[in-house]
Chains A and B, each alone.
Chain A
Amino acid sequence: MTTAGQKFGYPFVLKNKRLAYDGRGNIVVTSESEIETCYIKLGGLATTESKANASVINVGLYAEEYVNYVKEIAVMVVRTGNDSQGTIYVI
């Protein structure tokens, strides 16, 4: 995680590999001194047992660059099974 901090700079985003979306299962790491607290808050690293249990969240963490965005946008896409590629519609 220190390497992630060096690579992305601070703040960066730390996420659970499983069941993390919206505000859940992720945390913004603001400085190197915050790393340990954030690590513990997210449940730490995976254990052999947690990896085997699909309902458990802590199967590992990953780090992402913090993005300073202007807006969140979304596109709803429909995928049909009509051909091998799938046809796509946009809502």
Chain B
Amino acid sequence: MTAPASISFDASEKAIEIATSAVRTLDGKGIYGVEMFLLADDSILLNEIAPRPHNSGHYTMEACDIDQFEMHLRAVLDLPCPVPTMRTKYAVMVNVLGLETLQGTMQILKNAVNISGASIHWYGKAENREGRKMAHITITANDEQQLYDRIRALQTIASSTTPSTGTSATDEMDILRYIPSLQGVSGRRARVAVIMGSDSDLPCMSEAAAVLDHFQIPYELTVVSAHRTPSRMYTYAQTAIEKGIQVIIAGAGGAAHLPGMVAALTPLPVIGVPIKTSTLNGNDSLLSIVQMPRGIPVATVAIGNAANAGLLAVRILGASDMVLLRRMEDYMKEQEVEVLVKAARLEEDGYQRYLENMTKKRP
């Protein structure tokens, strides 16, 4: 369980609307846990309503100014029920399921005591049973780095205390599920916009998209022409911030005005990709993108190098997102290894055999 939920803004608004209207139709006072399903098309189905404090609300004990149990009592006793707020930026709750022995089940809790920001709740159930919900651990954090470190610590503990053949001590201990910036692309608001002057730029610009896919950053990709759709470009650039866009990658060829004009219309960072042209080999695109007047910068990458634009966008987002920076570090290490492997093979085989292998690969 992760709070706040990593779902789109629209989906969370819809979920709140569905949950409150459902509870409005019921009698009684107190707290209700309303469980729903989010589908691939961002629509929501109501599943179950529990008329009581609920597993989904356990995180409120550490993460909210009024927890679900106090709120329940307040409602039942007709005391004021102010709107609760989160005291921490993130909260992640995992259920601890019983292992074969009581001792085994408790080991994860004993180890988790060492993780700062981890709160342990042992239910004191009379009997330990494999797969039975025996406890829960809530991790709170105030930035993604903290969250990442704490969940990773818990994950290490969970995997070391879980026998390889048995059931997992904690449910859903997949670290990726809990870090907002590492979540899947679908259902999330785009952070990067990849735009191009013409659909003929797509083969080149798709390389930027491939990089964003690799780093699992949600993005949107579309055609916006500075010359043929000027009013669309205005609207697009001026509404980018409210849509949640943080970086714009703009590719254009020839008299390439799209990146510069977009940069003039929004305070967001703009990365320009000069598209290679048939008449002037992209020199025209390069010069019209790179030679911006003082005051309106466009970060310009090499001709046709949209992949670098994607990587630069990841680095810009990474400045305030340690998890992304770490992934960038990993990416750079992978590249280093690739080159070192090639160098070793070249040294070993000699240039003639290496060349032969290269031509075999590219007939």
> Which of B20, B64, B78 interacts with A77 by CB under 8 Å?
B20
From known contacts A89-B84, A90-B19, A91-B57, infer whether A78 and B30 are also in contact, taking CB-CB under 8 Å.
yes
From known contacts A74-B56, A75-B36, A85-B24, infer whether A80 and B48 are also in contact, taking CB-CB under 8 Å.
no
B202 within 8 A of A: no
- Report B70-83 CB contacts with A as 1/0, cut-off 8 Å: 01101100100111
Report which residue of A75, A79, A86, A87 has the largest number of chain B beta carbons within 10 angstroms of its beta carbon: A75
A49 within 8 A of B: no
Contact of A80 with B81 in the complex, beta carbons under 8 Å? yes
> Which of B15, B48, B60 interacts with A91 by CB under 8 Å?
B60
A52 within 8 A of B: no
Q: Choose, from B37-45, B288-296, B324-332, the stretch at the interface.
A: B37-45
Contact of B84 with A74 in the complex, beta carbons under 8 Å? no
From known contacts A70-B187, A76-B54, infer whether A81 and B38 are also in contact, taking CB-CB under 8 Å.
no
> Which of B35, B71, B74 interacts with A72 by CB under 8 Å?
B35
Contact of B50 with A21 in the complex, beta carbons under 8 Å? yes
Contacts of B24 in A (CB 8 A): 79, 85-86, 88
Residue of A nearest to B41 (CB): A70
What total of chain B residues lie within 8 Å of the partner, measured CB to CB?
Answer: 47
Q: Give Cα A42 to B50, complex, Å.
A: 21
Contacts of A21-74 to chain B: CB distance below 8 A:
21, 67-74
Contact of B75 with A80 in the complex, beta carbons under 8 Å? yes
Contacts of A6 in B (CB 8 A): none
Contact of A78 with B31 in the complex, beta carbons under 8 Å? yes
> Which of B7, B37, B57 interacts with A76 by CB under 8 Å?
B57
Q: Is the interface of B mostly helix, strand, loop or mixed?
A: mixed
Report which residue of A70, A72, A74, A87 has the largest number of chain B beta carbons within 10 angstroms of its beta carbon: A74
From known contacts A88-B23, A91-B84, infer whether A80 and B78 are also in contact, taking CB-CB under 8 Å.
yes
From known contacts A21-B48, A67-B45, A80-B29, infer whether A75 and B54 are also in contact, taking CB-CB under 8 Å.
no
CB distance from A41 to the nearest CB of B (A): 17
Q: Give Cα A90 to B82, complex, Å.
A: 10
Contacts of B32 in A (CB 8 A): 76-79
Contact of B45 with A69 in the complex, beta carbons under 8 Å? yes
CB distance from A17 to the nearest CB of B (A): 13
Contact of B38 with A76 in the complex, beta carbons under 8 Å? no
B181 within 8 A of A: no
Q: Give Cα A69 to B54, complex, Å.
A: 21
B26 within 8 A of A: yes
Residue of B nearest to A90 (CB): B16
A82 within 8 A of B: yes
Contact of B186 with A70 in the complex, beta carbons under 8 Å? yes
Contacts of A81 in B (CB 8 A): 29, 75, 78
Report which residue of A70, A76, A88, A89 has the largest number of chain B beta carbons within 10 angstroms of its beta carbon: A76
Q: Give Cα A89 to B23, complex, Å.
A: 10
CB distance from A15 to the nearest CB of B (A): 10
Contact of B36 with A73 in the complex, beta carbons under 8 Å? yes
B5 within 8 A of A: yes
Contacts of B35 in A (CB 8 A): 72-74
Report which residue of A77, A85, A86, A87 has the largest number of chain B beta carbons within 10 angstroms of its beta carbon: A77
- Report A4-26 CB contacts with B as 1/0, cut-off 8 Å: 00000000000000000100000
A-B contact pairs, 30 of them (CB 8 A): A68-B39, A68-B40, A69-B45, A70-B39, A70-B40, A70-B187, A71-B7, A71-B37, A71-B38, A72-B35, A72-B36, A72-B37, A72-B47, A73-B36, A73-B37, A74-B1, A76-B34, A76-B60, A78-B81, A79-B26, A79-B31, A79-B75, A80-B78, A81-B75, A82-B78, A86-B23, A86-B29, A87-B81, A90-B83, A91-B84
Q: Other than A76-B33, A77-B23, A91-B60, give 7 A-B pairs with Cβ distance below 8 A.
A: A69-B37, A70-B186, A71-B5, A74-B35, A77-B20, A78-B75, A79-B30
Q: Which 6 A-B pairs rank lowest in CB-CB distance, beginning with the nearest?
A: A74-B56, A75-B19, A69-B37, A76-B57, A77-B23, A71-B38
